[in-house]
Amino acid sequence: MTTALLIIDVQNDFCPGGLLAVEGGDAVVPVINRMQDDFPLVVATQDWHPAGHSSFADNHEGAEPFSTAEMPYGTQVLWPVHCVQGSDGAAFHPDLATDRISLIVRKGTDPSLDSYSAFFENDRKTSTGLAGYLRDKGVTALTLVGLATDFCVGWSALDARRLGFDVTLATDACRAIDLDGSLDAAMGNMRDAGVGIG
């Protein structure tokens, strides 16, 4: 085994009607379903926040969603409440095929620390353990799909490259938030890091 498909956060809250909806987020589902049979290993992530998470604007008096705050680990976007543990919004999109998913990495569970990447929390040091799992399975290359291109997908792609994996972004199976130019910035960072754009 050398290549795995990594499905990032295809959850109800990131799809139309969700609490942090990405435009066209549900359009990635049939594309991802078709892709899964092309890979010997399929892994997925879920945002899985406690209700009192420090990245939620509601937990900062007077803060507006999409403003920023300084955290011990750096600047943090303050998001609308989303993907709360056990909620319908945190569940995978109901049309996403999940039978072939061998591992689900739940991230953002520490109330004091957000986690965009599938590999590290936002302090850039705390590991999720995913890299070790992939290496134990003989994976050397990853194709990334899911939501959102400019945050969780992009951060995961950059960390995967930093960890030595070959990485391809399947753009037709991703959608972006595009917050103040974040999509162009993320795409540029990925290209600079050697991520293949497919």
Please enumerate in sequence order all residues whose Cβ is within 8 A of that of 148, keeping only pairs 6 or more positions apart, or say none: 9, 14, 22, 25, 174, 175, 176, 177
β-bridge pairing 68-71 and 74-77:
antiparallel
First CA to last CA distance, the chain: 21
pLDDT at 1 over 80: no
pLDDT in tens, 23-73: 999 999 999 999 999 999 999 999 999 999 999 999 999 999 999 999 999
Q: Is residue 137 annotated as part of the catalytic site, yes or no?
A: no
Q: Is residue 125 annotated as part of the catalytic site, yes or no?
A: no
Q: What is the pLDDT of residue 45?
A: 98
Q: Which of 83, 107, 150, 174 is catalytic?
A: 107
| 97, two tokens | 């095929």
Helices (H), the chain: 28-35, 130-136, 154-162, 182-192
pLDDT in tens, 130-146: 999 999 999 999 999 99
CB atoms closer than 10 angstroms to residue 116: 26
Q: Please give the domain boundaries of the chain with CATH numbers for all domains.
A: 3-49+85-197 (3.40.50.850)
Q: Is residue 152 annotated as part of the catalytic site, yes or no?
A: yes
pTM of the complete model: 0.96
